[in-house]
Amino acid sequence: MFIARIFEFSLMSKVIHVAAGVIVNSKGHILIAKRLADSHQGGLWEFPGGKLEAGETAEQALIRELNEELGIVSTSLEPLIQIRHDYSDKSVLLDVLRVTEFEGEAYGKEGQPIRWVAPENLNAFEFPAANVPIVAAARLPTCLLITNDEANIEACLKKLQAALDRGVKLIQLRQRLWNRDQWQQAVPKLTQLCESAGAVLLLNSPKGNVCADGWHLTSRQLMAAELPTSRTSTQWLSAACHNQQELAQAEALGIDFVTLSPVEPTQSHPDTVSLGWELFEGWVSRAKLPVYALGGMSDHQLDRALNVGAQGVAGISAWWS
Protein backbone atom coordinates (compact mmCIF):
# COMPACT_ATOMS: atom_id res chain seq x y z
CA MET A 1 0.00 0.00 0.00
CA PHE A 2 1.51 3.30 -1.03
CA ILE A 3 1.70 5.95 1.68
CA ALA A 4 -0.15 9.16 0.95
CA ARG A 5 2.13 12.14 0.59
CA ILE A 6 1.30 15.52 2.01
CA PHE A 7 2.55 18.22 -0.29
CA GLU A 8 3.95 21.60 0.70
CA PHE A 9 0.86 23.73 0.95
CA SER A 10 0.67 27.40 1.76
CA LEU A 11 0.23 28.11 5.44
CA MET A 12 -2.93 29.99 4.49
CA SER A 13 -4.50 26.86 2.98
CA LYS A 14 -6.73 24.55 4.93
CA VAL A 15 -5.82 21.01 3.89
CA ILE A 16 -8.28 18.20 4.51
CA HIS A 17 -6.96 14.66 4.09
CA VAL A 18 -9.72 12.33 2.92
CA ALA A 19 -9.91 8.62 2.12
CA ALA A 20 -12.42 7.63 -0.56
CA GLY A 21 -13.45 4.23 -1.88
CA VAL A 22 -14.30 2.95 -5.33
CA ILE A 23 -16.39 -0.04 -4.16
CA VAL A 24 -16.88 -2.76 -6.76
CA ASN A 25 -19.48 -5.52 -6.39
CA SER A 26 -19.56 -8.99 -7.92
CA LYS A 27 -21.23 -7.63 -11.07
CA GLY A 28 -18.46 -5.08 -11.60
CA HIS A 29 -20.76 -2.18 -10.66
CA ILE A 30 -19.46 0.74 -8.59
CA LEU A 31 -21.20 2.30 -5.60
CA ILE A 32 -21.74 6.05 -5.53
CA ALA A 33 -23.55 8.12 -2.90
CA LYS A 34 -25.36 11.44 -3.14
CA ARG A 35 -24.20 14.20 -0.82
CA LEU A 36 -26.91 15.57 1.43
CA ALA A 37 -28.27 18.94 0.38
CA ASP A 38 -26.95 20.80 3.45
CA SER A 39 -23.37 19.50 3.08
CA HIS A 40 -20.42 20.96 1.13
CA GLN A 41 -21.06 20.32 -2.59
CA GLY A 42 -24.53 19.11 -1.58
CA GLY A 43 -26.64 17.32 -4.17
CA LEU A 44 -23.64 15.99 -6.10
CA TRP A 45 -22.64 12.34 -6.29
CA GLU A 46 -19.39 11.09 -4.77
CA PHE A 47 -17.32 8.05 -3.92
CA PRO A 48 -17.95 7.30 -0.22
CA GLY A 49 -15.34 7.99 2.44
CA GLY A 50 -14.31 10.63 4.92
CA LYS A 51 -11.57 12.47 6.78
CA LEU A 52 -8.62 10.70 8.34
CA GLU A 53 -8.50 10.82 12.12
CA ALA A 54 -5.25 11.37 14.00
CA GLY A 55 -2.88 8.44 13.55
CA GLU A 56 -4.95 6.70 10.87
CA THR A 57 -3.71 5.46 7.53
CA ALA A 58 -5.92 5.99 4.49
CA GLU A 59 -6.83 2.30 4.54
CA GLN A 60 -7.82 2.35 8.22
CA ALA A 61 -9.86 5.52 7.75
CA LEU A 62 -11.71 4.13 4.75
CA ILE A 63 -12.60 0.86 6.49
CA ARG A 64 -14.01 2.86 9.42
CA GLU A 65 -15.87 5.37 7.24
CA LEU A 66 -17.49 2.76 4.99
CA ASN A 67 -18.72 0.87 8.02
CA GLU A 68 -20.15 4.05 9.54
CA GLU A 69 -21.73 5.32 6.29
CA LEU A 70 -22.74 2.12 4.50
CA GLY A 71 -22.73 -0.67 7.06
CA ILE A 72 -20.10 -2.77 5.24
CA VAL A 73 -16.75 -4.15 6.37
CA SER A 74 -14.09 -3.79 3.66
CA THR A 75 -11.82 -6.83 3.46
CA SER A 76 -9.79 -6.23 0.28
CA LEU A 77 -8.44 -2.80 -0.66
CA GLU A 78 -5.80 -1.60 -3.10
CA PRO A 79 -4.55 1.90 -4.02
CA LEU A 80 -6.18 3.52 -7.03
CA ILE A 81 -5.24 7.20 -7.26
CA GLN A 82 -4.26 10.17 -5.10
CA ILE A 83 -5.59 13.62 -6.00
CA ARG A 84 -5.07 17.07 -4.54
CA HIS A 85 -7.77 19.60 -5.41
CA ASP A 86 -7.93 23.26 -4.41
CA TYR A 87 -11.36 24.79 -3.86
CA SER A 88 -11.77 28.49 -3.18
CA ASP A 89 -12.08 27.91 0.57
CA LYS A 90 -9.94 24.82 1.18
CA SER A 91 -7.67 22.18 -0.30
CA VAL A 92 -8.50 18.48 -0.31
CA LEU A 93 -6.03 15.61 -0.51
CA LEU A 94 -7.89 12.50 -1.64
CA ASP A 95 -6.43 9.05 -1.10
CA VAL A 96 -8.61 6.77 -3.23
CA LEU A 97 -8.64 3.00 -2.79
CA ARG A 98 -10.44 0.35 -4.78
CA VAL A 99 -12.53 -1.96 -2.56
CA THR A 100 -12.98 -5.32 -4.26
CA GLU A 101 -14.29 -7.41 -1.36
CA PHE A 102 -16.53 -6.50 1.56
CA GLU A 103 -18.92 -8.06 4.03
CA GLY A 104 -22.50 -6.92 4.49
CA GLU A 105 -25.03 -5.20 2.24
CA ALA A 106 -24.43 -1.51 1.59
CA TYR A 107 -27.16 1.01 2.43
CA GLY A 108 -27.26 4.72 3.27
CA LYS A 109 -26.97 4.64 7.06
CA GLU A 110 -27.03 8.44 7.21
CA GLY A 111 -30.03 8.77 4.90
CA GLN A 112 -27.94 9.40 1.79
CA PRO A 113 -29.13 7.90 -1.52
CA ILE A 114 -26.76 5.31 -3.01
CA ARG A 115 -26.58 3.72 -6.46
CA TRP A 116 -24.72 0.80 -8.00
CA VAL A 117 -23.58 2.01 -11.44
CA ALA A 118 -21.85 0.27 -14.34
CA PRO A 119 -18.43 1.92 -14.86
CA GLU A 120 -19.30 3.08 -18.37
CA ASN A 121 -22.32 4.97 -16.97
CA LEU A 122 -20.49 6.99 -14.32
CA ASN A 123 -20.21 9.99 -16.65
CA ALA A 124 -24.00 10.37 -16.49
CA PHE A 125 -23.75 11.58 -12.87
CA GLU A 126 -22.54 14.95 -11.60
CA PHE A 127 -19.56 14.78 -9.23
CA PRO A 128 -17.57 17.44 -7.35
CA ALA A 129 -14.60 18.70 -9.35
CA ALA A 130 -12.15 16.80 -7.13
CA ASN A 131 -13.86 13.53 -8.09
CA VAL A 132 -13.54 13.90 -11.87
CA PRO A 133 -10.13 12.16 -12.15
CA ILE A 134 -11.45 9.42 -9.86
CA VAL A 135 -14.28 8.75 -12.31
CA ALA A 136 -11.67 8.18 -15.03
CA ALA A 137 -9.53 6.00 -12.77
CA ALA A 138 -12.56 3.93 -11.74
CA ARG A 139 -13.38 3.18 -15.37
CA LEU A 140 -9.84 2.31 -16.48
CA PRO A 141 -8.22 -1.15 -16.25
CA THR A 142 -4.74 -1.73 -14.82
CA CYS A 143 -3.07 -2.80 -18.08
CA LEU A 144 -2.71 -0.78 -21.29
CA LEU A 145 -1.52 -2.53 -24.45
CA ILE A 146 0.30 -0.50 -27.09
CA THR A 147 0.41 -2.34 -30.40
CA ASN A 148 3.67 -2.91 -32.25
CA ASP A 149 4.06 -2.01 -35.92
CA GLU A 150 2.50 -4.61 -38.21
CA ALA A 151 2.80 -4.29 -41.98
CA ASN A 152 0.04 -6.86 -42.46
CA ILE A 153 -3.49 -6.04 -41.27
CA GLU A 154 -4.44 -9.70 -40.81
CA ALA A 155 -1.43 -10.22 -38.53
CA CYS A 156 -2.56 -7.22 -36.48
CA LEU A 157 -6.08 -8.62 -36.19
CA LYS A 158 -4.75 -12.00 -35.09
CA LYS A 159 -2.47 -10.52 -32.42
CA LEU A 160 -5.21 -8.23 -31.14
CA GLN A 161 -7.59 -11.17 -30.77
CA ALA A 162 -4.93 -13.08 -28.83
CA ALA A 163 -4.47 -10.11 -26.48
CA LEU A 164 -8.22 -9.78 -25.98
CA ASP A 165 -8.45 -13.49 -25.23
CA ARG A 166 -5.88 -12.93 -22.45
CA GLY A 167 -8.14 -10.31 -20.92
CA VAL A 168 -6.61 -7.04 -22.15
CA LYS A 169 -9.26 -4.31 -22.00
CA LEU A 170 -7.45 -1.14 -23.10
CA ILE A 171 -5.57 -0.92 -26.40
CA GLN A 172 -3.67 1.92 -28.03
CA LEU A 173 -3.38 1.28 -31.77
CA ARG A 174 -0.01 2.63 -32.97
CA GLN A 175 0.80 1.69 -36.56
CA ARG A 176 3.46 3.95 -38.02
CA LEU A 177 3.88 1.81 -41.16
CA TRP A 178 0.25 2.00 -42.31
CA ASN A 179 -0.94 4.31 -45.04
CA ARG A 180 -4.33 5.99 -45.16
CA ASP A 181 -6.02 3.07 -46.93
CA GLN A 182 -4.74 0.57 -44.37
CA TRP A 183 -6.06 2.67 -41.50
CA GLN A 184 -9.43 2.98 -43.24
CA GLN A 185 -9.59 -0.76 -43.83
CA ALA A 186 -8.31 -1.97 -40.45
CA VAL A 187 -9.93 0.27 -37.83
CA PRO A 188 -13.55 -0.90 -38.33
CA LYS A 189 -12.42 -4.54 -38.02
CA LEU A 190 -10.31 -3.82 -34.94
CA THR A 191 -13.14 -1.82 -33.39
CA GLN A 192 -15.55 -4.71 -33.88
CA LEU A 193 -13.16 -7.12 -32.14
CA CYS A 194 -12.77 -4.73 -29.19
CA GLU A 195 -16.52 -4.13 -28.89
CA SER A 196 -17.17 -7.87 -28.77
CA ALA A 197 -14.62 -8.24 -25.96
CA GLY A 198 -15.79 -5.17 -24.01
CA ALA A 199 -12.43 -3.48 -24.63
CA VAL A 200 -11.54 0.13 -25.44
CA LEU A 201 -9.59 1.04 -28.59
CA LEU A 202 -7.60 4.30 -28.82
CA LEU A 203 -5.97 5.57 -32.02
CA ASN A 204 -2.42 6.93 -32.02
CA SER A 205 -1.81 9.32 -34.93
CA PRO A 206 -4.28 7.72 -37.38
CA LYS A 207 -4.29 8.60 -41.06
CA GLY A 208 -7.59 9.36 -42.72
CA ASN A 209 -11.07 9.83 -41.34
CA VAL A 210 -11.30 6.95 -38.85
CA CYS A 211 -12.59 6.86 -35.30
CA ALA A 212 -12.78 4.48 -32.35
CA ASP A 213 -13.29 4.84 -28.59
CA GLY A 214 -10.75 7.63 -28.29
CA TRP A 215 -7.44 9.14 -29.24
CA HIS A 216 -3.87 9.17 -27.98
CA LEU A 217 -1.62 12.22 -28.36
CA THR A 218 2.13 12.02 -28.80
CA SER A 219 4.14 14.29 -26.50
CA ARG A 220 4.68 16.67 -29.44
CA GLN A 221 0.94 16.85 -30.13
CA LEU A 222 0.31 17.32 -26.41
CA MET A 223 2.67 20.29 -26.07
CA ALA A 224 1.30 21.85 -29.26
CA ALA A 225 -2.26 21.32 -27.96
CA GLU A 226 -3.21 19.52 -31.16
CA LEU A 227 -6.50 18.08 -29.91
CA PRO A 228 -8.69 15.96 -32.22
CA THR A 229 -11.40 18.19 -33.62
CA SER A 230 -13.86 15.35 -34.11
CA ARG A 231 -13.70 14.07 -30.53
CA THR A 232 -17.03 13.62 -28.75
CA SER A 233 -17.69 13.92 -25.01
CA THR A 234 -17.85 10.13 -24.65
CA GLN A 235 -14.47 9.43 -26.28
CA TRP A 236 -11.29 8.99 -24.28
CA LEU A 237 -8.24 11.21 -24.73
CA SER A 238 -4.82 10.08 -23.51
CA ALA A 239 -1.30 11.41 -24.00
CA ALA A 240 2.36 10.45 -23.74
CA CYS A 241 4.39 12.21 -21.04
CA HIS A 242 8.09 12.09 -20.16
CA ASN A 243 8.52 14.99 -17.74
CA GLN A 244 6.70 17.28 -15.33
CA GLN A 245 6.05 19.96 -17.96
CA GLU A 246 4.16 17.48 -20.11
CA LEU A 247 2.20 16.22 -17.10
CA ALA A 248 1.18 19.80 -16.31
CA GLN A 249 0.10 20.36 -19.92
CA ALA A 250 -2.00 17.19 -19.85
CA GLU A 251 -3.79 18.42 -16.73
CA ALA A 252 -4.34 21.87 -18.23
CA LEU A 253 -5.87 20.39 -21.40
CA GLY A 254 -8.18 18.04 -19.50
CA ILE A 255 -6.53 14.84 -20.77
CA ASP A 256 -8.24 11.77 -19.27
CA PHE A 257 -5.06 9.79 -18.54
CA VAL A 258 -1.40 9.57 -19.55
CA THR A 259 1.54 7.24 -19.90
CA LEU A 260 4.76 8.31 -18.16
CA SER A 261 8.00 6.87 -19.48
CA PRO A 262 10.50 5.36 -19.47
CA VAL A 263 10.31 4.00 -15.93
CA GLU A 264 12.87 1.25 -16.53
CA PRO A 265 15.42 0.67 -19.33
CA THR A 266 13.94 -0.72 -22.55
CA GLN A 267 15.36 -2.75 -25.42
CA SER A 268 13.81 -0.39 -27.98
CA HIS A 269 15.48 2.71 -26.46
CA PRO A 270 18.61 1.44 -24.68
CA ASP A 271 20.31 4.86 -24.67
CA THR A 272 17.39 6.72 -23.08
CA VAL A 273 17.86 7.53 -19.40
CA SER A 274 15.06 5.93 -17.39
CA LEU A 275 13.18 7.73 -14.61
CA GLY A 276 13.43 5.00 -12.01
CA TRP A 277 10.67 4.19 -9.55
CA GLU A 278 11.51 6.87 -6.98
CA LEU A 279 11.24 9.77 -9.44
CA PHE A 280 8.19 8.19 -11.07
CA GLU A 281 6.45 7.96 -7.70
CA GLY A 282 7.25 11.58 -6.89
CA TRP A 283 5.79 12.85 -10.15
CA VAL A 284 2.72 10.62 -9.93
CA SER A 285 2.03 11.79 -6.38
CA ARG A 286 1.65 15.35 -7.74
CA ALA A 287 -0.40 14.43 -10.81
CA LYS A 288 -4.13 15.10 -10.94
CA LEU A 289 -5.01 12.40 -13.43
CA PRO A 290 -4.45 8.64 -13.84
CA VAL A 291 -0.90 7.70 -14.88
CA TYR A 292 0.29 4.43 -16.44
CA ALA A 293 3.91 3.34 -15.96
CA LEU A 294 5.54 2.71 -19.35
CA GLY A 295 9.00 1.43 -20.23
CA GLY A 296 10.18 -2.08 -19.37
CA MET A 297 6.76 -2.96 -17.94
CA SER A 298 4.94 -6.28 -17.75
CA ASP A 299 2.53 -8.06 -15.40
CA HIS A 300 5.44 -8.58 -13.02
CA GLN A 301 5.71 -4.82 -12.31
CA LEU A 302 1.97 -4.25 -11.86
CA ASP A 303 1.88 -4.53 -8.06
CA ARG A 304 4.85 -2.20 -7.72
CA ALA A 305 3.25 0.34 -10.04
CA LEU A 306 -0.02 0.27 -8.10
CA ASN A 307 1.81 0.64 -4.80
CA VAL A 308 3.48 3.88 -5.93
CA GLY A 309 0.20 5.40 -7.09
CA ALA A 310 0.06 4.47 -10.78
CA GLN A 311 -3.17 3.48 -12.52
CA GLY A 312 -1.30 0.45 -13.81
CA VAL A 313 1.29 -0.53 -16.41
CA ALA A 314 1.51 -0.02 -20.16
CA GLY A 315 3.58 -1.99 -22.60
CA ILE A 316 4.02 -3.57 -26.00
CA SER A 317 5.98 -6.82 -25.82
CA ALA A 318 4.28 -8.06 -22.64
CA TRP A 319 0.91 -8.56 -24.38
CA TRP A 320 1.57 -8.24 -28.12
CA SER A 321 2.92 -11.45 -29.62
Please state the three-class secondary structure of 254-321 as a single string.
Answer: CCCEEEECCCCCCCCCCCCCCCCHHHHHHHHHHCCCCEEEECCCCHHHHHHHHHCCCCEEEECCCCCC
HSE-CB for 7 with a 13 A CA cutoff: 23
At 86 the pLDDT is 78
Condensed to tens digits (0 to 9), the pLDDT of residues 183-220 reads 999 999 999 999 999 999 999 999 999 999 999 999 99
At 128 the pLDDT is 86
Residue 8 pLDDT class (50, 70, 90 cuts): very low
Residue 267 pLDDT class (50, 70, 90 cuts): confident
> pLDDT at residue 9 above 50?
no
Q: CB count, 10 Å around CB of 180?
A: 12
> pLDDT at residue 5 above 50?
no
Q: What are the chain's domains? A: 15-139 (3.90.79.10), 143-315 (3.20.20.70)
| Interhelix angle 244-253/277-286, nearest 10 degrees | 30
Residue bearing the bigger pLDDT, 267 or 165: 165
Condensed to tens digits (0 to 9), the pLDDT of residues 273-299 reads 899 999 999 999 889 999 999 999 999
At 83 the pLDDT is 86
CA nearest neighbour of 258 among 223, 293, 210, 295: 293
Residue bearing the bigger pLDDT, 40 or 136: 136
b (16+ CB within 10 A) / e for 251-287: eeeebbbbbbbbbbebeeeeeeebbebeebbebbbeb
At 131 the pLDDT is 87
At 3 the pLDDT is 43
> pLDDT at residue 172 above 70?
yes
The helix or strand, by DSSP H or E, that contains position 75, with its residue range, turns out to be strand 73-86
CA nearest neighbour of 20 among 67, 75, 66, 72: 66
Average pLDDT of span 231-243: 94
Mean pLDDT of the chain: 91
> pLDDT at residue 11 above 80?
no
Residue 254 pLDDT class (50, 70, 90 cuts): very high
> pLDDT at residue 2 above 70?
no
Average pLDDT of span 242-261: 97
- Main-chain dihedrals φ then ψ at residue 259, nearest 5 degrees: -105, 145
Listed in sequence order, the residues at least 6 apart from 209 whose beta carbon sits closer than 8 Å to its beta carbon are 184
Q: CB count, 10 Å around CB of 8?
A: 4
Average pLDDT of span 143-148: 97
Burial of 39 (0-12, 13-18, 19+ CB in 10 A): exposed
